[in-house]
Amino acid sequence: MKKVVVVESPAKAKTINRYLGNEFEVLASYGHIRDLPSKNGSVQPDDQFSMIWEMDDRSKKHVADIARALKNADELYLATDPDREGEAISWHVQEVLRSQGSLVDHKVRRIVFHEITKNAIQQALKSPRDINQQLVDAYLARRALDYLVGFTLSPVLWRKLPGSKSAGRVQSVSLRLIVQRENEIEAFKTQEYWSLVSDMLNTKDQSYQARLTYLFGKKLDKMDIKNEDEAQQAAKAILERQYSIKSVEKKQVKRNPAPPFTTSTLQQEASRKLGFSASRTMQIAQKLYEGVPIAGELTGLISYMRTDSVFISDEAIKDIRQFVGDTYGNNYVPATVRQFKNKAKNAQEAHEAIRPTSVLRHPSEVSAYLDDSQLKLYELIWKRTVASQIESAVFNQVGVDIESTDKQIILRATGSTLAFDGYLKVYQEGVDDAVSDDEDGRLLPVINEGEAATVTAVNPNQHFTQPPPRYTEASLVKKMEELGIGRPSTYASILHVLQERDYVRLEKRQFIPEDRGRMVTSFLVNFFKRYVEYDFTAHLEEELDEISTGTRKWRDVLTEFWTAFKGNVDGTKELRITEVLDSLEKDMAFHLFHGDEEGARKCPQCSEGKLSLKLSRYGAFIGCSNYPECKYTRTVGGDGGDNVEMVQADEPKVIGIDPATKAQITLRKGPYGIYLQWDGEVDQAPPPLETSSKGKKKNPKSISQSVLLFQPVLI
């Protein structure tokens, strides 16, 4: 009888099918077949965190195809991806098939492989196992946590901070990083400082340059020379003296290659060197992993691309070292195999790093079968992997101290030369926010200790301190990894959601927080601080990892989290809008009012009122305290006179609550214009609400003001 193999994608199924015999039928689940419905009650804390799963019509069809194939089979191989999500997909498939009665006497086996090659798949078939329930439990805990945070915290945001769209366990913490960096940039005060570089001659009249390091016997710090007058005085002091070479220090320095790629480092490097977004990088890598047509056959070119391990298999290392020796020479092969250690918090070592499935597939040999983006990413992965097993680069570095005869001034000249290129022959890692400074890369002429040195000119250079740079996709992913926020499989989706929610925008490849994102962060930091702390989020990730290793029970972790979190949420029920506004104004004063001074909050229209933050159903705006006499408004961050529209009634909007009955007040648009509707029980109805008469259009803004007779939904 046939054996049925289930994988996630049809592309992966097609590739694997080529490596298996006729007794196997390979089918795709098309990703997750079940999910938690996007409604309240999908996770039930009062029932031991039981979950209600739902299948859409598309998934039902794919499951039906698998069930149909099982009628003529006696074995089911679950061959989904080798990570927590892959384990969960296999678990869902098994659970649904069992509940439908499709698994009777069938043997169910779980197999994993880290690359889609014939050898890897054949080896996986020889060592099947059961579904790892601990990995499934970790998935269930993560899914429940994300659901409970999103579906509990988001409604609080909607009620207390109109215009906000959602909150998330990892999403909100990542947003805080971007907002916090922007706050640092805005608070940064530029400082002037100067440096001095002297043009020098050695005894053979060969030129070089040296910078001032000691002035009047004192070692200079970066900010010690504060203005042009001090710089000119220092230049004058340098020119007045005679010099000789105090010391010449020569040494060899080794620079080691970077480890092979993890998910995050691949996203970072693809962003720096190729300009790819994190999501685009993962889409291309997925295709390279699942297989591309090469000489008429689907071939997987790289190992699994969701990993935080820098480990490479012994067999792959052996092939790489052989390739390096044959291609570049044995002097490029390290005496011992390079071993790398993970630096990221919460890294899991179970997988391999991202590497080519065969080092012999040089990018030039597969270029005809790949599009431009695929080739660029494959070449990046190939070069990084090969370079990681090449000998270190060696530099000859020279440092020269030049001292005045009265020992009051010391100048320093540095330079270096490349003695052996080593791994640089293949690859050099990119850097974030690099500052151009090639001083150490300059070549120095022959300089001997004790000989005379001549200063021919002094060049004072003005500098200004720079604020920290905004996060790019690369640097944000790097920071998230360092802090232990999220997992490799989630980085791309988190960055996408932040932009989709209009919390941040990507401008010149840098993240800039929108006003909405700033306010959400300010609100969460003030009223849910524990849940946007970096250490707390990282600790939750550690607990999820402990579940996956069997050292913690998933329901215990959820109970501990939910008890405290639900208490925090319940504590905000009495939170009044004035408290929210006060906290936002305090945190965002400089951004909101363009200055710290009291005068910055003076109304520019009536000159008497005070500007303050106000909230409408559609978000925040700045308004005058003398409303309605003074109707000055502007958008947050705007310069004024923006004529903020408080309500746009294209569909029913909840804008108030009847304080007596707690019934909702909704703003609606009918055939005769804008009107308010009370949505409570008929026998509790108050006097008729304001409505517009036939043929007479009502301004949504004025109607939104009349609802203040009731309790605003924000309170």
Q: How far apart are CA 445 and CA 413, in angstroms?
A: 11
Residue of 573, 561, 570, 572 lying closest to 49 (CA atoms) = 561
SS3 call for 53 = coil
Q: Which residues contact 360 (CB under 8 A, 6 or more apart)?
A: 319, 323
> Cα 4–9–14 angle (5° rounding)?
65
Contact between 588 and 600 under an 8 Å Cβ cutoff? The reply is no
What separation in angstroms does the CA of 224 have from each of 435, 491, 493? 21, 42, 46
Contact between 35 and 53 under an 8 Å Cβ cutoff? The reply is yes
HSE toward the beta carbon, residue 681, CA cutoff 13 A = 5
Contact between 304 and 114 under an 8 Å Cβ cutoff? The reply is yes
Residue type, 681: E
DSSP labels, 78-94: E---SSHHHHHHHHHHH
Q: How far apart are CA 185 and CA 190, in angstroms?
A: 10
SS3 call for 341 = coil
Catalytically annotated residues: 304
What separation in angstroms does the CA of 172 have from each of 140, 157, 467, 565? 21, 12, 24, 15
Residue type, 76: L
Residue of 498, 434, 419 lying closest to 170 (CA atoms) = 498
State residue 102 phi and psi, 5-degree precision.
-85, -15
Q: How far apart are CA 710 and CA 715, in angstroms?
A: 11
| Tokens linked to 52 | 């209600």
Q: How far apart are CA 209 and CA 297, in angstroms?
A: 60
Q: How far apart are CA 294 and CA 218, in angstroms?
A: 67
- For residue 664, the surrounding DSSP H or E stretch is strand 664-670
| Tokens linked to 712 | 């605003």
**Given its phi and psi angles, is residue 132 left (phi above 0), alpha (psi -120 to 50 degrees) or beta?**
beta
Q: How far apart are CA 137 and CA 132, in angstroms?
A: 9
What separation in angstroms does the CA of 178 have from each of 264, 346, 636? 18, 22, 18
HSE toward the beta carbon, residue 271, CA cutoff 13 A = 26
SS3 call for 132 = coil
Query: Exposed/middle/buried for 273, CB within 10 Å: 0-12, 13-18, 19+?
Result: middle
Count of all residues that appear for the chain in the document: 715
What separation in angstroms does the CA of 458 have from each of 203, 247, 438, 464? 19, 21, 19, 20
| Tokens linked to 332 | 């490029």
State residue 251 phi and psi, 5-degree precision.
-155, 160
Q: How far apart are CA 147 and CA 169, in angstroms?
A: 9
| Tokens linked to 589 | 């004063």
State residue 58 phi and psi, 5-degree precision.
-65, -45
Q: How far apart are CA 5 and CA 18, in angstroms?
A: 13
HSE toward the beta carbon, residue 160, CA cutoff 13 A = 30
| Tokens linked to 672 | 């005769």
State residue 291 phi and psi, 5-degree precision.
125, 140
SS3 call for 219 = strand
